[in-house]
Structure 1
Amino acid sequence: MANREGGVAVPDAAIRQKYIEERDKRKRPDGLGQFVKLATSDKFKYLQEDPWADHAALNTQTPPLKDGDEVKFLVQGAGYGGLAFAVHLIEAGFKATEIRVVDDAGGFGGTWYWNRYPGLMCDVESYIYMPFLEETGYMPRFKYSYGSELREHAERIAKKWGLTDKALFRTRCHHATWDDVAKRWIVRATEKRGPAEPSREIQFKAQYVFVASGILTNPQIPRLPGFEKFQGEHFHTSRWNYDITGGDPVDWTMAKLKNKSVGIIGTGATAVQAVPQLANWAKHLYVFQRTPSSVDERGQRPTDPDEWANKIAPKQGWQRARSQNFITKLTNVPVEEDLVNDGWCSTDSYCAVIGAPGIVPPDKVSEHITRLHTLDLGRAERVRHRTNDVVKDPFTAERLKAWYPAWCKRPTFHDDYLPTFNRPNVTLVDTDGKGLDAMTEKGVVANGTEYPIDVLVLSTGYSVTVENDSGSPVSRAGMTVVGRDGLSMDEKWIREGAGTLHGVTTHGFPNLFFPGPTQAGVTANFTHTLSLLAFHVANILADAERRVDSTERVTVEVTKAAEEAYTMQILMRSTWFAGFAGCTPGYINMEGARDNETDSQELMKAARAAPWGEGIVKFEEMLEAWRADGKLEGLRIEGNC
């Protein structure tokens, strides 16, 4: 499997060559253009309409934010990120009455509001993924919580901290302009009120704005010839239609599929969870695959109350300690005991995505990439052997194997996905990297063959990045934000590239904050990063307001010099992520487009947008030292009239 040179294990050259061959099969000249972003498509926007909002009930409520209002804190996003911002503001001494939350959804939960497909669960242990478990006193029902429980927990957090009546739902903030005289953001938003009532345009002022809209917010579908001709029922997994399948988000009894042929396009993290459930009910299920996922064991099990009380949560501070143990293990730093001890914790090579201690000099990049492959080889081969062991048909098993390292696509963990392909009513349609040919009135065409289907499930993910997009936090949120001197954030980031202090604020945009991931520490447990950055910003603001005479007019802004100095720290560490070069096409490398970039200026801009290369543990230590210094170094605080 590997040979040795100078005492160092070197990944098998044949496997590295196989990775290259499989990557090259999947390169496409249209890149990101192969997808249609539903948010900007008139033809297919019906696929992202909200199926969950109770418009009648919401329309009878007194809106917490009306046209002409002024608020101290505006939080854009009602998922775990937005809730973390609000909670940490309250814990830092601010009042819940000063906070308003706005979200396009019809309720709390973020991605857990939208996604309610059968089989949905978090892929990170719920004991560390679900924020504020210790504060709410809640014990998750499973090691990996299912979607309904995750959504309920978002509502639990909102209730405990008095935020339930502070949220304006079905509302998208689309424009914000800084008023330097009033020291306020002028925000314009559209409130949707359901099919029976017209939308409402509202405008209000906010002293501070937090953009916490997340990254999994814009569903996409493949740009397939003939799609509009398809006569069968169809929907995107982020808007699961139980009227078509039967069942509901809690009861996955999809009896309406018993006599129907079902097709699902996509085999990523969502499909890995939904496919086993569809196979339980469909007369026949066709799984259309371009690139297989790496599928390791999950080990799902109910929470044992005795284990919870005596080992998992026995004392104050247990959740932070457990989460710190997890993120430390993922950056390949030794821990005394692996507390989580799951598939993530045995994926040492995932540090290629999230960073690890140590700066890689430019002349050592090749050696660094080789070390990453060495870290990954044993895991990758074990997962491929597991596929052989589980899937009985050798032909199918071979096509379900992932030929790329763990950092090229988010690895998946599931106990039932691979066994599903042993069922007689399930057919894997592998396109050998080419993708689908077209659609017809009756079904899907792949490899020149038409597959008639009654129901089509689009498990085709989200547009995390798009061509000609600035990549700014507000761009991901679908907002136009204009700061000082009439400059929009998108214009700034297109012209200069990313620039922040600590991944939470950018020069020229006072009192505007966001939770990375650009230039911030990252890890597989997204909520850890969200809570870390929310805590950081809340403490900055609490400290800033203690320093000024007029908190009504206080502004907090990173200086240009500090922003550039911090960005240089990002660039110094960005070589850690060199392993992404040559990855199989996916959202991480803009469907392979990044590998084709040769312009040095554009390459530098891309490097500026990297996370903190030494990993989130070192990133957190840096933030703690910065706060302990007490100077708020790099920030200009103003508050006098």
Structure 2
Amino acid sequence: MTADSTNTNGASNGANGHSQLPTEEDMTLLQLQQRYAEEAAKRIRADGPAQFLDLTDADTDRFKAIAEDPWADHAALNAKETVKDGATSKFLILGGGYGGLLFAVRLMQAGLIKGPDDVRLIDAAGGFGGTWYWNRYPGLHCDVESYIYMPLLEETGYMPKQKYSPGSELREHAERIATQFELYDKTLFRSNAKAATWDEEEKLWTVQVTEGRGPNEPSRELTLKCQYLLVASGVLNIPHVPKIPGLEGFGGEMFHTARWDYSATGGSYENPDMEKLKDKRVGIIGTGATSIQIIPQLAEWAKELYVFQRTPSAVHPRDQKATDPEEWKTKIASKKGWQMERALNFVAHMSLATKNGEENLVDDGWTKMPAYSALIGSPGYGLVEPTPEAIGANVARLHKMDTHTAETARARVDQIVKNLETANKLKAWYPSWCKRPTFSDMYLQAFNEPNVHLIDTNGQGIEAATKDGLVFAGKEYPLDVLVLSTGYRSPAFGNGNPAAKTGIEVIGRGGLSMDEKWKNIGSATLHGVATSGFPNLFFAFGPQTAGTANFVTMLEVSIQHTAHILAKAEEKVGAGSRAVVEVTREEEEAWTMQVMMRAPYFASIVGCTPGYLNGEGQSARQDPKDMMKASRSSGWSEGMLSYIEVLEEYRREGSLKGVEVTAA
């Protein structure tokens, strides 16, 4: 397949090569694109990502307190010393979420982890689960089908209770994996790796770690060493808040959704009856994917709920259902390899890569949103010539493909929300790929309740905070409790540098800083899993890979590829020697060129409503040099299935081209 032969305005070319007059459909599409552009312009700010404060960088007691772990059992953790200062392990994994767990298990299955001292894990949380450890807000569910999202279901034999699992079940599954594969006594919780340095003489990584031990204990400084350093720090892991003047001086209860405070709301994660809110005026900032789940819960309990919106979300039906044990046994989990097969079927339907008559196994809203391929790529359209005409034609094709999905979501608002003015403010005027789509059968309905008030800021955001509430358009809204549903640091931070996402300083060969390398040249990897100058360092998911709505599939693909490279490398040096594995500068640059060649496909993201996908709108303002550097961080525009084929061909060839292996 090739891209549609359309002009930038969507008008088709005639047989003689001259543009035909635009059709009524073309004109309608042009008007829609103009409306999208006008709405996006409302959000443009000169400060871009700097409008937010990462809670890890907070210098006030109020914000530092908000960032603290509310869930850790410090007494129990302090009573156990799982990792000793000065310990050396074969693998040190940064991250105890699904990525870190998958790294450990797949390396075990590859025969690379053999003894109890071969692997150690480090995580800032007080337990396993990653985002599912931190996030425990009422209403929390995964927005991807649990049968393909929850890793290692075949290995654990677990059957999810529902099509979309609640956060508690997802965290429990992480704990299940850790228990089954005996990882608890190998993990250092409440700990942050501050620096990692390659020791050229020892051919080991030296990692400086700070272990927090709770409010009444001094922290512990450790120096750990490892042969392989593996980064599995997740995508959205550092919560941030908008720099609203006076926010830290708000006099009521205030917390971030990633650190839900049940002492302020009442109830608990297991029983979220928020009875303390019955006489309270509650405000929530943000209407993204997290808020979609929280707002119906707050609406049920709060005396008054004020929803402060900058950009509305597109909200599609959820269609939750319980898992049928018979269907699970006979149709879903009926054969070996079913989970990856189902996950790739999901990818195929999202990226326009299905074969004739291929059954839609997941059959949900994601798989009926073809224009989301603008974000994750498509094998039929991924190669776009870097000309204004070709890029414009591809953007027009995507907009045309998205029209039905977007208009259906806006029509659904009118069908549900009774107040016309409120309904109009809840409609999303941007394409489906610009902001993560949401799915709920409760969110829009909440705005029919008399205690729920939408404060739409028309893209501008809140002006200020006082000790008594929030101010917009010169009006103060008094509040007793303020919920910050304001998201996380962008995964594009540091040009996609995996180390920057964790806040760790990584120094490779010859004192080379990974921060400096990424700053100077932009992303540079082989297959998105490793970078030259940093031996034995691998990422669970970095830039220059393929994407999909299901993050666990991305983890699986990159981790299994890394396990293959390491297994072949260890085989090459033989027993009794330590392998030093490093990608070459030439081959990572060749891969980067392949990625950059595909970057024009993603041009539709640049004009999106400002958000973490386009650097809060700064992508459109970059000079050519910065745009070229940013294009190095692009994904694989031909989609996940194409990317997997490239990796499989590389593995079949067998020579580890572009990877130097030496024995220490």
* TM-score for both structures, normalised by structure 2: 0.94
Give, in angstroms, the shift of residue 58 of structure 1: 0.3
Counterparts of 2:449 and 2:475, CA distance in 1: 22
Pick aligned residue for 1:475 from 496, 500, 515: 500
Give secondary structure in 1 for the equivalent of 2:75. Answer: helix
- The question of 1:311 aligning with 2:331 is answered yes
Counterpart selection for 1:618 from 636, 642, 660: 642
Alpha carbons 1:113, 1:151 under 8 Å: kept: yes
Tell me which of 452, 455, 480 is aligned to 1:426: 452
> Where does residue 589 of structure 1 map in the other structure?
614
* Aligned-residue offset at 1:465: 5.2
Counterpart contact for 2:195–2:207, Cα < 8 Å = yes
Q: Are 1:194 and 2:220 matched, yes or no?
A: no
**Shift in Å, 1:96:** 5.8
Per-residue deviation at 1:515?
2.2
Deviation of the 1:285 alpha carbon: 0.5
Equivalent position of 1:51 in the other structure: 70
| C-alpha distance in structure 2 between counterparts of 1:325 and 1:99, whole Å | 33
Shift of 1:466: 7.7
Q: Which residue identity does 2:626 align to in structure 1?
A: E
1:307-355 residue CA offsets vs partner (Å, 9 max, x unmatched): 2122211222211111110011111112411111111011101111111
- Residue 230 of structure 1: CA displacement? 1.1
Mapped to 2, the partners of 1:391 and 1:527 lie a distance apart of 35
Measure how far apart 1:362 and its partner are: 1.4
The equivalent position to 1:81 in structure 2, one of 93, 99, 115, is 99
Partners of 1:551 and 1:120 in 2: how far apart? 48
Give the whole-Å Cα distance in 1 for the aligned partners of 2:577 and 2:632: 34
**AA matched with 1:388:** D
2:415 to 389, 393, 409: 389
Name the structure 1 match of 2:176. 156
For 2:369, the equivalent position in structure 1 comes to 347
Determine the C-alpha separation between the residues in 2 that align with 1:376 and 1:513. Answer: 37
CA distance in 2, matches of 1:322, 1:251: 33
2:622 is equivalent to residue 605 of structure 1? no
3-state SS in 2 of match to 1:100: strand
Residue aligning to 2:302: 282
Question: 2 CA distance for matches of 1:91 and 1:403?
Answer: 47
3-state SS of paired residue (1:450): strand
Shift of 1:574: 1.0
Query: What CA deviation, in whole Å up to 9, does each residue of 1:177-210 have, x standing for no partner?
Result: 0011111001000000001110011001100000
Quickly say closer, same or farther: Cα 1:104–1:192, change in 2 above 3 A.
same
Give yes or no for the alignment of 1:113 onto 2:133: yes
2:203 match: 183
Number of matched pairs: 636
Higher deviation after alignment, 301-310 or 206-215: 301-310
1:36 is matched with: 53
Match of 1:568 in 2: 593
Match in the other structure for 2:90: 72
Alignment partner, residue 655 of structure 2: 631
Give the Cα–Cα distance (whole angstroms) in 1 for the partners of residues 130 and 42 of structure 2.
Answer: 35
Quote the Cα distance in structure 2 between the aligned partners of 1:517 and 1:386. 37
CA distance in 2: counterparts of 1:465 and 1:438, whole angstroms:
27
1:73 aligns to what SS in structure 2? strand
Amino acid at match of 1:68: G
Residues 1:18 and 2:38 aligned together: no
Q: Greater shift after overlay, 222-231 or 108-117?
A: 222-231
2:281 aligned with 1:246 = no
Q: Distance in 2 between matches of 1:403 and 1:551?
A: 61
- Aligned letter for 2:290? T
The answer to whether the Cα contact below 8 Å between 2:164 and 2:320 also exists between their aligned partners in 1 is: yes
TM-score (norm 1): 0.97
Offset, 1:12: 1.8
Per the TM alignment, residue 3 of structure 1 is displaced from its structure 2 partner at its CA by 8.7
Cα deviation code 1:493-514 (max 9, x no counterpart): 1111110001000000000000
Please list the CA deviations of residues 540-567 of structure 1 after superposition, one character each: whole Å capped at 9, or x if unmatched. Answer: 1111101114654310000111011111
Q: Is the 8 A contact 1:465 1:590 kept in 2?
A: no
Report the equivalent of 1:508: 533
Amino acid at match of 1:29: A
Does the 8 Å contact 2:10/2:397 carry over to 1? no
Question: Among residues 101, 114, 120, which one is paired with 1:95 in the alignment?
Answer: 114
SS in 1 for 2:573: coil
Among candidates 399, 402, 408, match of residue 376 of structure 1: 402
Shift of 1:517: 3.4
Q: What secondary structure, in the 3-state scheme, does the structure 2 residue paired with 1:303 have? A: coil
1:614/1:375 Cα in 2 relative to 1: closer, same or farther (>3 Å)? same
Residues 517 and 611 in structure 1, CA contact (< 8 A), matched pair in contact too: no
Q: Aligned-pair distance for 1:301?
A: 1.4
Q: Distance in 1 between matches of 2:367 and 2:542?
A: 22
Q: Percent identity?
A: 54
CA 1:22 to 1:411, structure 2 compared with 1: closer, same or farther past 3 Å? same
What does the per-residue CA deviation read over 1:495-538, in whole Å, with 9 as the maximum and x for residues that have no partner?
A: 11110001000000000000233001111100001011111111
Query: Which is worse superposed, 145-154 or 16-25?
Result: 16-25
Is the contact made by 2:10 and 2:396 (CA closer than 8 Å) also made in structure 1? no
Does the CA-based 8 Å contact 1:519-1:570 persist in structure 2?
A: yes
C-alpha spacing 1:264/1:433, structure 2 compared with 1 (3 Å): same
Q: Is the 8 A contact 1:90 1:96 kept in 2?
A: no
The alpha-carbon deviation at position 76 of structure 1 amounts to 0.2
Name stretches of at least 5 consecutive residues in structure 1 with no aligned partner: none
TM-superposed CA distance for 1:4, in Å, is 6.3
Kindly indicate whether residue 350 of structure 2 is the aligned counterpart of residue 330 of structure 1. Answer: yes
User: Are residues 1:498 and 2:523 paired?
Assistant: yes
Aligned CA-pair RMSD: 1.5
Give the match's secondary structure for 1:12. Answer: helix
Q: What is the rounded CA distance, in whole Å, between the counterparts of 1:58 and 1:516 in structure 2?
A: 29
SS of the residue aligned with 2:69?
A: coil
Aligned partner letter, 1:526: F
**SS of residue in 2 equivalent to 1:20:** helix
- Partner of 1:474: helix, strand, or coil? helix
Q: Show structure 1 runs of 4+ deviating over 3 A.
A: 2-11, 549-552
The answer as to whether partners of 2:236 and 2:491 remain within 8 angstroms in 1 is: no
**One-letter amino acid matched to 1:387:** V
1:288-307 to 2 correspondence within 5 Å?
288-307=308-327
